[in-house]
Amino acid sequence: MTSAGTGTHCPYCALQCRMTLHHTGDGIAVRPGGRGGLCVKGWTSAALLDSPHRLTTPLLRVGGELCPVDWDTALDTVARRLVEIRAAHGPDGNAVFGGGGLTNEKAYLLGKFARVALGTSQVDYNGRFCMSSASAAARQAFGVDRGLPFPLSDLDGADAVLLAGANPAETMPPFLAHLKGAIDGGGLIVVDPRRTPTAELAALHLAPAPGTDLALALGILHAVVADGQLDEDYVAERTAGFAAAWRIAAAWWPERVERVTGVPAADQRRAARLLAGAGNAHVLTARGAEQHASGVATAGAWINLALALGLPGTAGSGWGCLTGQGNGQGGREHGQKADQLPGYRSITDPVARRHIAEVWGVPEGSLPGAGPSAYELLTALGTPGGPRGLLVFGSNPAVSAPHAGLVAERLAALDLLVVADVVLSETARLADVVLPVAQWAEEEGTLTNLEGRILLRAKAVEPPPGVRTDLGVLHGLAVRLGQPPERFPAAPEAVFAELRAASRGGPADYSGVTYARLRAGESLHWPVPSPAHPGTPRLFLDSFAHADGRARFAPVDHSGPAEPPDAEFPLYATTGRILAHYQSGAQTRRVPELAAAAGGMFVEVHPDTARRAGLTDGAVAVVESRRGRTRATVRYVPSLRPDVVFLPFHFAGDERANLLTNPALDPTSRMPEFKVCAVRLLGERA
Ligand code: SF4
């Protein structure tokens, strides 16, 4: 690190804010390096580097206790037990679970490790819980999925922006700089059951009952058409399927939608007029719209609205999905997904299989087929016919998976659980072997941010003695499993060179991206099909990625939540993130400043609802669903709908929001319904 500091990127969300790290007398300090600055998570991220919670020695469970061992003992033990499980139960006896925070190189090598070194089809990752519904909807509508198919800077010129199920004022505050024009011009529309800090900035806040977003999108589409604002030329020239979509939306006039969602018909019509009257407009969705058993249809309904207004593939306007995890975009492109090969290729496509088998130097027939999705994989662990061994990289499913109590039981039932992590996460506590690995600023690697731009996150500090990189761990295990060492390189740039070749010709083509170009400061959005190609900041300007060049309307209808409230469980529970924490909290709960800002579980409740349950502000409540119960401190929130409670999902133990959540899966994306389940409120001693 030089005195001017070393440039790198934040370890957390998909905005991937630039920062520099500086040595000071007190340790390592963070300085913002880009537009919009940093949020409190970025400012405090250096605390992770010298955290007293840091793991620096492999741990092996002996006599029920996790005991320090050397690396050879740890890796030899893991390799031996993986081989034993494979001999007893076949290749699918072992499974792999990755994460959307892993670099592109790690996601790529992890998928290759599963398919080649283990020969298993049982590989998926926590991004299935985050972005898979919007991803599937985008592929259906446009033929390709890139979260924002335009650069972030396009939002600067937007007169109107509709945010459906996004709360960037807490999840990624620097992003708000891009919405300043829409906010100042009275063009921000926020769809959220809660009056969030983002909703406070909006000209129009629409608060539908949880699980009714799709009906609301149909109502606004209806208002657009009824008001004569359908972009008929665009629909005729650039799309297909409007008639079938309209046949459904025609039956969802705003007054009918008001009865289902609670959103006044006049507000639906106002939203339609704000969007239709804007020079440049965007419709953006995030987890609030997507984490439903009908998540693909719901994201499709918001895409329908954008298509009816003629926004996607138009300079200065569009539809996009706000990706959440740091490498949520790249993590879903390079092969750690159950149904996918690198370059965003399908594992069932014979051409893709041949190409990847050739790059990997293995027979095509040796590549397994598609495996189960994340929740299905996790709940099959240790069951008859299910996997008996699991390797976890960059994920904490004991906290972050839906129906977390059941998932923790399944993890505990394994013959072998191996967790590579930076700290002793809740999942690592259950492990047979824990492998301490390097983290963000301690190693080089690429990530693909929410606008599809590939970033090189530089190494800024040395990792502590005793840890290895994830790539080094995969290399060490692969060699012990009999693989040629050169097939699993441990150097990030070497892995990236192979990823480039593997992605060549695929939808997410990185073949023209090199570390040298990224080090030189080039801004490269995929696809980048050759070293001379400048990248593709805006997709779809000329045509969409379907063979006929047209975008598709989705014929989607409202179905409501999988588990609506009833007499026994009368409230909707919805979950989400708060400013001080990130995902399962494994990192941020260990940053003292963030733990002080938000140290424990709370539940937001309307005061009338709380009083009916006999709960005062600050009391400890039990929130119960059909799957479990969690403890939380009551917060009175008068702006909340009386039929809704909100719980953040960052806390552990008996404070896990995911002890409650409903694992009902979307039929296409297999994403669980994190955003709505039925609960009741009880006093602490209930
Ligand atoms: S907005 Fe996201 S990337 Fe930026 S500092 Fe905050 S957590 Fe880090």
In DSSP terms, which residues pair with 621 in a beta bridge? 632, 683
Cα–Cα nearest to 506, from 367, 374, 668, 330: 330
Cα of 642 from ligand 1 centre, angstroms: 32
Beta bridge partners of 319: 283
Q: Cα separation of 145 and 575, whole Å?
A: 25
Which protein residue has the closest C-alpha to ligand 1 atom 4?
17
Coil/strand/helix, residue 588: helix
Spatial distance between the Cα atoms of 185 and 271, rounded to a whole number of angstroms: 14
CB 589 within 8 A of CB 595: yes
Outline where 570-612 has alpha helix (H): 592-597, 607-612
Q: Are 538 and 151 in contact (CB under 8 A)?
A: yes
Length of the chain: 686
Ligand 1 atom nearest the C-alpha of 582 is 7
Q: Do residues 318 and 282 touch, judged by C-beta distance below 8 A?
A: yes
Helix 492-503, helix 104-112: angle, nearest 10: 70
Ligand 1 atom 1: residue of nearest CA: 172
CA nearest to 221, candidates 327, 147, 308: 308
Query: How many Å apart are CA 257 and CA 276, to the nearest integer?
Result: 20
Centroid of ligand 1 to alpha carbon of 173 (angstroms): 7
Contact by Cβ (8 Å): 107, 330:
yes
Return the DSSP state at 84: H
φ and ψ of 682, to 5 deg: -135, 160
Distance 582 CA to ligand 1 centre (A): 10
Is any atom of ligand 1 closer than 6 Å to the C-beta of 155? no
* CB-ligand 1 contact for 10 (6 Å cutoff): yes
Cα(67) to centroid(ligand 1), Å: 35
Concatenated DSSP letters for 161-192?
EEEES--HHHH-GGGGGGGHHHHHTT-EEEE-
What residues contact 482, with CB distance under 8 A and at least 6 apart?
Answer: none
- How remote is the CA of residue 619 from the centroid of ligand 1, in Å? 32
Number of H helices, E strands in the chain: 24, 30
**Ligand 1 pocket residue status of 324, Cβ below 6 Å:** no
174 Cβ closer than 6 Å to some ligand 1 atom:
yes
| 361 in Cβ contact with 507 (< 8 Å) | no
Atom 6 (ligand 1) nearest CA: 39
Q: How far apart, in Å, are the Cα atoms of 379 and each of 210, 384, 428, 659?
A: 26, 11, 17, 14
Q: How far apart are CA 401 and CA 666, in angstroms?
A: 15
Q: Is 12 in the pocket of ligand 1 (CB under 6 A)?
A: yes
Host H or E run for residue 60: strand 59-62
Query: Helix, strand, or coil here: 651?
Result: coil
The dihedral over CA atoms of 672, 678, 681, 686, expressed in degrees to the nearest 10, equals: -80
Answer yes or no: is the C-beta of 14 below 6 A from any ligand 1 atom: no
Q: Tell me, using a 6 A CB cutoff, whether residue 38 lines ligand 1.
A: yes
| SS3 assignment for 414-452 | CCEEEEEECECCCCHHHCCEEEEECCHHHCCEEEECCCC
pTM of the model: 0.96
pLDDT at 597: 93
If you measure from the C-alpha of residue 218 to the centroid of ligand 1, how many angstroms do you get, rounded to a whole number? 33
Neighbours of 53 (CB within 10 A): 14
Q: Could you list the mean pLDDT of each consecutive 10-residue stretch along the chain, which spans 686 residues? A: 76 93 86 85 93 96 97 98 98 97 97 98 94 94 97 96 97 96 98 97 97 97 98 98 98 98 98 97 96 96 98 97 92 94 96 98 97 97 97 96 96 98 97 97 96 95 96 98 98 98 97 98 97 97 98 97 97 94 91 93 97 96 98 97 95 95 96 96 76
The H-or-E segment that residue 160 falls in is strand 160-164
Q: What pLDDT does residue 59 have?
A: 98
Q: Are 391 and 75 in contact (CB under 8 A)?
A: no
Question: CA separation (Å) from 467 to 99, 421, 434, 443?
Answer: 19, 10, 11, 11
Q: CA distances (Å), 410 to each of 375, 388, 629, in order? A: 11, 10, 18
Q: Looking at the CA of residue 36, tell me the nearest atom of ligand 1.
A: 4
**Type and span of the H or E element at 457:** strand 453-457
pLDDT recorded at residue 503: 98
pLDDT of residue 25: 78
Number of the ligand 1 atom closest to the C-alpha atom of 42: 5
Ligand 1: residue of 41, 198, 577, 591 to mutate (most ligand atoms within 8 A of CB) is 41
Give dist(CA 623, CA 601) in Å, integer: 11
The answer, yes or no, to whether any atom of ligand 1 lies below 6 A from the CB of 423, is no
Does ligand 1 have an atom closer than 6 angstroms to the CB of 39? Answer: yes
Note the helical H segments in 60-212.
71-89, 104-112, 132-142, 168-171, 180-184, 197-200
Q: How far, in Å, is the centroid of ligand 1 from the Cα of 455?
A: 15
361 and 114 Cβ atoms separated by less than 8 Å? no
78-135 pLDDT tens trace: 999 999 999 999 999 999 999 999 999 999 999 999 999 999 999 999 999 988 999 9
Contacts of 373 (CB under 8 A, 6+ apart): 124, 128, 338, 665, 670
Q: Separation of 600 CA from ligand 1 center, angstroms?
A: 21
The closest alpha carbon to 269, from 225, 303, 306, belongs to 225
State if residue 328 touches ligand 1 by the CB under 6 angstroms criterion.
no
Supply the residue whose CA is at minimum distance from atom 2 of ligand 1.
13
Among 16, 38, 40, name the best residue to mutate to test ligand 1's pocket (greatest count of ligand atoms within 8 A of Cβ): 38
